[in-house]
Amino acid sequence: MVVKTKLYASLAVAVAVIVAAWFVSDAWKRTHPVTERIIVTGMAQTDFVSDLIVWRGWFTRQAATTKEAYPRMKDDAALVAKYLKDRGIPEGNVVFSAVEIEPQYKNVRISGTDGYDRQFDGYRLSQSVQIESKEVDKVELVSREISELINAGVELNSSHPEFYYTKLSELKIDLLAKAAKDGRERAEAISSNSGGRLGPILKADMGIFQITAQNSNEDYSWGGTFNTSAKNKTALITVKMEFATR
């Protein structure tokens, strides 16, 4: 009889512990609701054409003295300016830098030895020219053909033009809106197919803004790619979004 009494007492204690645990658990759930989350990455991209071009070139002359080289540089600059003007480039879009002067040296074998002596070899003068214009096609063509000045005796070097887009801020805002919409649609699809309902957004972080050449295999970078060598570009942006579910 004593054994049964002790058994019943133990059972009563166990039941009391279970009931108490249930009440504590239920209270925790009511005061600390468990929120399931869906994390998605929305993406948007668009192709666009650059509306600003920057081209740079430079020309040089070398002579025994600066007095001899400088007049030739002035003649070369005049030829370059005339060439650009004849091809419809406004003078306001053309900027010539100051002339840079650099002494030149050459190594001369010392007679009867294996050594060399460094001797003065005159001056090299250089001057750069830059065009910044919204007439992208026109300047791009000029940048390819300006080497014709070599036939006129100008020691000219031409760099590859750089292409930019002046409405990049507006483009970025538009892509962000589209990426956010894409992210919500992805989250809604996941929630619906899981038998739940999508709740409010909890967090959103913008990803890297990438600009690459169209139809290229250009690599993306963690810091963001900003292509300036292609006239036709593709912009891409991502948004990481976190939603609650109901």
Give 100-128 pLDDT, tens digit per residue: 999 999 888 888 787 888 899 999 999 99
**What are the start-end ranges of the E strands in the chain?**
37-49, 52-63, 94-96, 100-109, 116-133, 155-158, 162-164, 198-206, 210-213, 232-245
Helix (H) or strand (E) holding 146: none
Q: In this structure, are 39 and 136 located in the same domain?
A: no
Of 136, 162, 188, the one marking the end of a domain is 162
Query: How much is the average pLDDT of 214-227?
Result: 80
Q: Residue 82: pLDDT above 90?
A: yes
Domain of residue 24 covers: 1-33
Both structure tokens of 24: 């504590």
Look at 9-18, 200-209, 231-240 and tell me which has the smallest mean pLDDT: 9-18
Residue 125: the pLDDT is 96
How many residues make up the chain in this entry?
246
Each residue of 30-49: pLDDT tens digit?
554 545 899 999 999 999 99
Q: In this structure, are 63 and 151 located in the same domain?
A: yes
Q: In this structure, are 71 and 147 located in the same domain?
A: yes
126 close to 103: Cβ distance less than 8 angstroms: no
Q: In this structure, are 63 and 144 located in the same domain?
A: yes
Q: In this structure, are 90 and 18 located in the same domain?
A: no
* pLDDT tier, 4 (very low <50, low <70, confident <90, very high otherwise): very low
Q: In the block, which residue shows the tokens 């830059």?
A: 130
Tell me whether residue 183 is exposed, middle or buried, using C-beta atoms within 10 angstroms of its C-beta: 0 to 12, 13 to 18, 19 or more: buried
Q: In this structure, are 28 and 39 located in the same domain?
A: no
Q: What is the pTM assigned to this prediction?
A: 0.78
Domain total for the chain? 3
Of 143, 162, 181, the one marking the end of a domain is 162
* pLDDT tier, 181 (very low <50, low <70, confident <90, very high otherwise): very high
